[in-house]
Structure 1
Amino acid sequence: MSGFDDFDFLIGDWTVTNERLRARLVGSTEWETFTAFSHIEKVMQAPDGTFGGNLDQMTVPERGFTGMTLRLYNPETGLWSIYWSDTKSYRLFPPTIGRFEDGRGIFYGDDVEGGVPVRVRFLWTGGEEPRWEQAMSRDSGETWEVNWVMRFGR
């Protein structure tokens, strides 16, 4: 499998169970759960037949917004860049960048949460029931707070 194929497990239609921490980086232990629906397709087909990325459109009726993830693969570096936008912010968030090793994808980026710079980490596991996890760190990755988990089902 080449890097271009890393996210092939995700292509198609999904029902997504979201578990999200109600408040981030304040010591909260209160979680909320809601459902979303996701359609993911390959994009940017090259002349050799490979696809340079995929586009994920997610509707979240219980929360009244739509989100979009664009994942782009760079064959020169072997790294994926993952970009997010939604109809709550109408902005493109800074990317997380990383790769898959042994069936697990690890991606890091920088952002701002509550006016404070944070390090962001995404963990992806593939298979029949993919799982995504987001964590944030205020201390440059010394400690992490998991604040969002998505479980994908057909």
Structure 2
Amino acid sequence: MDNSTGFTFLTGTYDVVNRWRKDFLDPTEGDDRWEEFPGLTHASVHFDGRASFDEIQFPTKGFSGLTLRLYDPAADTWSLYWASKRTGTLFPPVTGRFTPDGTGVFHGDDEHDGREVEVRFVWSEITETTAHWEQAFSVDKGRTWLTNWHMHITRRAT
């Protein structure tokens, strides 16, 4: 996979099955600690594949968000920026790249519920019609990670 055009797979309209921890920092396991809900995303690529934009709606949650992804050719890295309708602010970026096997790993620093966290996004299982995204937080400088959100996305048939 060419890292510079790594997000070209994410073009079109996708149904999204979201599964997130009810408390993003609580490591307690069990199905009652997770919530599943639908999403719908519309995605496009720009700058010859070196920029990606999508807007996602969470109809049962009453909010939406958008992601802008930009490729930096000098660093050979992507920066991913998330904004939520709930806050109207741009969150700090996560940066990283795609590996030869097609998995994208991205890290950054942020805050959740007043606590400093390191954030990791992983894009994996990418095909022409599906992909998986997950988010994890670390409160110990990356020594341990707690995965707190999964998205399984499936392209809608045209």
TM-score grouping bracket, smaller chain normalisation:
over 0.9
| C-alpha distance in structure 2 between counterparts of 1:76 and 1:108, whole Å | 18
TM-score when normalising by structure 2: 0.90
* Amino acid across the alignment from 2:142: G
5+ residue gaps in structure 2?
none
Using CA pairs under 8 Å that are at least 6 residues apart, name the structure with larger relative contact order, 1 or 2: 2
For residue 103 of structure 1, give the secondary structure of its aligned residue in structure 2: coil
For residue 130 of structure 2, give the secondary structure of its aligned residue in structure 1: coil
What is the number of residues matched between the two proteins? 149
Q: Give per-residue Cα distances to partners, 1:34-79, cap 9 Å, x unaligned.
A: 0010000012x3xxxx233011111111101111000000111110
Q: Give per-residue Cα distances to partners, 1:8-51, cap 9 Å, x unaligned.
A: 111111000000000021234310000010000012x3xxxx23
Is the aligned partner of 1:17 residue 2:17? yes
Following superposition, the deviation at residue 83 of structure 1 comes to 0.4
Q: Is contact 1:22-1:28 (8 Å) kept?
A: no
| C-alpha distance in structure 1 between counterparts of 2:135 and 2:3, whole Å | 22
Partner of 2:75: 77
* Amino acid across the alignment from 1:72: L
| C-alpha distance in structure 1 between counterparts of 2:45 and 2:122, whole Å | 20
TM-score when normalising by structure 1: 0.92
For residue 80 of structure 1, give the secondary structure of its aligned residue in structure 2: strand
Is the aligned partner of 1:3 residue 2:6? no
> Which structure 1 residue ranges, 4+ long, deviate > 3 Å from structure 2?
none
* Amino acid across the alignment from 1:19: R
| C-alpha distance in structure 2 between counterparts of 1:150 and 1:55, whole Å | 17
Superposition CA RMSD, Å = 1.1
Once the two structures are superposed, the pairs formed by residues 44-63 of structure 1 within 5 Å of their partners are 45=47, 50-63=48-61
* Amino acid across the alignment from 1:27: P
Q: Give per-residue Cα distances to partners, 1:126-145, cap 9 Å, x unaligned.
A: 21320000000000000000
| C-alpha distance in structure 2 between counterparts of 1:65 and 1:22, whole Å | 16
For residue 50 of structure 2, give the secondary structure of its aligned residue in structure 1: strand
| C-alpha distance in structure 2 between counterparts of 1:60 and 1:24, whole Å | 18
Q: Is contact 1:120-1:135 (8 Å) kept?
A: yes
| C-alpha distance in structure 2 between counterparts of 1:142 and 1:79, whole Å | 23
Partner of 2:137: 136
- Percent of aligned positions that are identical: 40
